[in-house]
């Protein structure tokens, strides 16, 4: 998903947006992220192009911030929507100063904090999930014996 808008002939808009230390020039949405977006955010079928366009606009408007200060995996959009993203270098693509450009790979949409209170503290939420799954496995193994 590249920004293809031009103001006038032979004048190009910047084709990357900075997010922290990354210079995002492309957005890739995984199938898992599409299904999670449709289930948890839109509550309807949404095309991948529409999701990518939404993400690109939020990037351009600086509406995405890091969930944790030092980690670059989980992001908040409008301080509500929790997104997990990874970054990869775009081979052979650099900005004017020679720094590599990146593609943002949207792994999943976790949901909205306003609807799912557990998302306000992800570390405790994930530890609770691991514990509950471990306990379920232990109970199931007891039943088999």
Q: E strand or H helix at 129, and its extent?
A: helix 122-144
pLDDT for res 87? 92
Cα–Cα distance, 13 to 140 (Å, whole number):
57
Quick one: pLDDT at residue 138?
67
Q: Give me the pLDDT at residue 104, please.
A: 93
d(CA 67, CA 74): 5
Q: Indicate the pTM of the whole model.
A: 0.73
Record: fold of 6-114: YaeB-like fold (3.30.2310)
The predicted pLDDT at position 14 comes to: 53
Going residue by residue through the chain, which has 145 residues, state the pLDDT in tens, using 9 for 90 and above. Answer: 454 444 444 445 457 888 888 899 999 999 999 999 999 888 889 899 999 999 999 999 999 988 876 666 889 999 889 899 999 998 888 887 888 899 999 999 988 888 877 777 776 766 766 667 666 766 666 665 5
Residues forming beta bridges with residue 12, ordered by sequence position:
6
Domain boundaries in the chain?
Answer: 6-114, 115-145
């Amino acid at each position: 998903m590249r920004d293809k808008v031009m103001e006038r002939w032979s004048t190009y808009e910047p084709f990357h947006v900075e997010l922290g230390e990354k210079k995002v020039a492309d957005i890739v949405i995984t199938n898992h992220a599409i299904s999670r977006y449709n289930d948890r955010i839109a509550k309807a079928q949404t095309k991948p192009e529409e999701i990518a366009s939404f993400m690109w606009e939020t990037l351009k408007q600086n509406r995405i911030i890091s969930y944790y200060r030092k980690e670059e995996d989980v992001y908040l959009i409008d301080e509500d929507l929790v997104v997990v993203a990874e970054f990869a270098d775009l081979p052979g693509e650099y900005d004017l100063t020679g720094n590599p450009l990146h593609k943002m790979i949207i792994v999943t949409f976790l949901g909205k904090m306003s609807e799912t209170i557990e998302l306000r503290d992800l570390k405790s939420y994930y530890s609770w999930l691991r514990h509950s799954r471990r306990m379920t496995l232990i109970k199931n193994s007891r039943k088999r014996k």
